[in-house]
Each structure stands twice: as structure tokens, then as C-alpha cells.
Structure 1
Amino acid sequence: MSDARPSGLAIDLAGRTAVVTGSTQGIGRAIARRLVEAGAAVVVNGRDAAKTDAAARALSEETGRPVRAVAADIGTAEGAEALVAGAGEIDVLVNNAAIFDARPALEIDDDEWRRFFELNVLAATRLTRLVLPGMAARGWGRVLNIASDSAVVIPAEMIHYGMSKTALLAVSRGFAKTAAGTGVTVNAVIAGPTHTEGAERFVYQMVDESLPWDEAQREFMRTARPQSLLGRLIQPEEIANMVAYLASPLASATTGGAVRVDGGYVDAILP
């Protein structure tokens, strides 16, 4: 009798609609592309209509598959509702949109604390609340919240960002309990220091601005993130690969988790 084992594991999201917030650049764009490549009908999102449309066109040209754009400010209730209405029936929601900035703790005022909480936590919470009932009714769905190593190792230079990502871990776990037994999974992805346009700006906030990028990156990892086992910035595509897996039927038994793609940055066995 032959051993009829599959030769490989395929991530197949054909027939599923995926929404990725903050997907005009960086990690969000890489996630959107990877989900398109896995067969999903992807909706990219950003606040600027021209930039969002351009991102959708570029992804469509790169992958040879149609990609839709829905521009909406998800930091507001109206914007979140517009995104959900424009996307239609959502099977995979990736809450990626976020802001970050380096600032001394004693200089962060009340308005800044609120701004970070509202976009980095409340927007994801609101969108999850809007889409989870439909997913549960259909018996399948994926909600993925892009968190950060800063949720576990709070950086002294941006504790407001760390706070928001810690809260996002709690939100993920709580909604996973709400979705228990429905066929819907909810997980957080703990992304480590990643090479994006925003990260380049942040790196130069932390090291000498006159350094060439390669030297600046090495100096940043050596002085600001020395506990990284990878010793380099993570590429957005490496985050996207984990998101695509968690979004797929292959990850049906993974829910309520905080899955790390951090290059070994968090010095713990568990988050």
C-alpha cells in the first residue's frame, strides 16, 4: 500500500475576501500582496484615496490579479463602517494600521496618548466588532491583529506605542474567546523590528542621521535592539508569510495566540 502523503502544504485562500488596513506601504502592503498570491480577493485600505488607488493598481499589476481599494479613515467610526460596507462580505480581517513615534515619556501629553490608543487599539476593536458576527454566522473567519515586540518589551523611547500594542494583545485574546466554537479564529502577530519606510525614519531618530543606511541599520540593531537573535531588521515579506499561514485553513487550531515573528527579539519562551 502506497504512502499517500501530500508533497507540500499549500496556502489556499481562493474564494475568500481579505481586508488589510494600512496596506498602501510597508508591512501592510507586503501582507496584501501575499494574500493576493494565496488566491484571496484583497481589499487594500488607507486614508488617502489617490495613494490607496495607486497601491491597488500596483499590486494588481505585480500579481496579475484584481485588487480593490477602499479609502477610509478607520480611526473614526464612520470610516470603519465605510470600509466594511465597501469591502462587502469579509472573511479575513488584518488589522495592520498603526502609528509610532519616538518621544520621551514625560513629553507625551494626553492628546498623544489618546491618538495612539484610538488608532492602534480602538480602530482594530471597532472593525473586529463589525465583522465578527458575519464571520461567525458563516462558520469561518480570520481576524489578525498586527502587534509588536514593543507589546512585551516596552521601549523607553515610545511607551505610548508599547502600551497600545500590549492592549492589542488583550483585545485579540478577548475576541478569540468571544469567537470560541464558531469556526472563527483571532490571533495577534508579534512583529519584530522590520525594515519599512517608517522604520527608516525611526532608526534615524535613534542614530546619527549622517550615517549611510546600511551603517545606520547596524548601529540601531547594535545599540537599540541588541537582544535580537536575527541581528538585522526583518523584511516585511517575512511578516506577511506568517499572516498568510494564520489566515489560511492550515491554522484552524491556532486561536487566541500571540505568534512571534520577531527574530528572537523577545527574550522569553512565551510572550
Structure 2
Amino acid sequence: MPEAYLEEYFALGYECYYVPFDKRVNIQKKVKVITSLFKDLIIFFNIDYELPGLDWEDYIYDYIQEYDNASSVGILYTKRQSKLEKNQLERKYLYEYGCRCGCIQLEYQKNNNFDLIRRILFANQAQGRRKTIRALCSSACTYTYYKGQNYNDPVTGSLQDISLSHFTILVPDDKLELKLYEKIQDIHFNLKGFLFRSGAILAMERSVNGGMLYVFSFINSNGTAGLDDRIREQLIPALYRILSNNCNQLLDMTYAETPDDVPPEESEDEEETE
């Protein structure tokens, strides 16, 4: 599955990540950490991805039994030549193992798999409660706008989060000199080096610990809700990179803090002793 699909699913409101194999952390540890971190997890295993020393059937069965989460598991596999083999896989994973998120046969042509997986995500209600996904920001994500025609008096700060429809800022000290539903025609954004401009309207404000929180809704050059199409298309990969980097940093930190499982030979010795 092309990883570029993940950006397109993000634009549709699905937060998806690809977890690859690497020699630093084995798949078993990765899945253990991912399962512990994300409570609303839907996890798909590609059983045709060969890994040294891993039998997918045994591993997936043990994983489901350990976490009692068959309702969160789906299976992906390459298209089979034989209908009998396809039926056998479905019988095993759907009926014997109880995988509720599907047993999906991928097509040989990668482009055909986009809609196939999108339908599976939709069927599993993977969008969550929000129509657009928020990317949490660091101090490297900033905004700048000017009060009226006074270009010598810029208002600057860091973003709290941003999506394809809204962004949020936290002002720790003074309140913004803006009224609710007031429009700002030209705001300059810098998202870790990605620059763009857009208008916005103040949609909500509330007092929180640390200051005042302001939520803005993007408006396009026509004055209607949303971003201009060109900016939106350019913003999608930039936001997904922030989202993906945040997720991978959290995973890497948790991998480092999580002890490795007992090696198989030691666990077998312990069972014999008992």
C-alpha cells in the first residue's frame, strides 16, 4: 500500500499510520506499545509481509487472546489465485479468530486498493468524532497578522493545534483585541518551514489554565468557510508530517522505556521448571 494514501485518508478524516519493520524494535514490541497507548485502536496486520521467525497465524491468535480485542483487529493479504484459499483465510480469521474489522484481499494494482481500504475504514467508523483531525503544534508552528493597516504592529505567537478547517492559539497574558466572529483577512503561517497565508474568523474563546484559548475557523479568498483549494492541497502533506512526527516521537520514547520481552528460550526453561 503506497504510504501516500495515508495523507489522503487524513484529508478524509481518518488518522492512519504505517508501522514498518526495522531491526531496532521487533514487531511484537511495537504492537504491544501501540496497543497500550491507543485505546480506540484499529490495527490491521498484513499477513503476507514476511518477517524472520514470525508465524502470523500463531502471533495474531496469541495477540487476540492476550488483549481480548478481536473487535479491533483486521487482516490484509495479497489477492489469492484460488477462491478456496481465500475462503480458508476468511474462515480462519473472521470466524475462528473473530477479527471484526475484516479480512481484506488486496488487489494487484495498488491504485485499486485506495477505495477498498477507505470503505473498510468507513465501515469500521474509524473517523472518530471530529470531521477534521487536529495536529498538535510545537513552538516551531507560528502565526503573524497585523492590526488594520498598521504594519509596524504585528501580532505573533505559536499555534496550539491546527487542522484543515480550524486552528487554536493560547494567549497567556493579554486578551486579543478581537470580537467574537470578527474576521482577519490575512494571517501568515509558518508550520516548521511550510509557509502559507489565509483569512480566518474567531469562532470561539474561553478561559483556561495559562491564559485565553482562541479557536479560529479558516475562511478563503471568497470570504466563505474553508481554505482555498490550492492551499488546502499543499497543507495536507504538511499537517500529516506534523501528525506522523508527533506519533513516531511518542512511540520511540515509549519503545525506549518498555523492557524487552523475555527471550523465548528463557521462557521455555521457566515453563519446564514449573
TM range (shorter): 0.3 to 0.5
Larger-gyration structure (1/2):
2
If each structure's strand is expressed as a fraction of its own residues, which one has the higher value?
Answer: 2
Instruction: Give the TM-score normalised by structure 1.
Output: 0.35
If each structure's helix is expressed as a fraction of its own residues, which one has the higher value?
Answer: 1
Instruction: Give the TM-score normalised by structure 2.
Output: 0.35
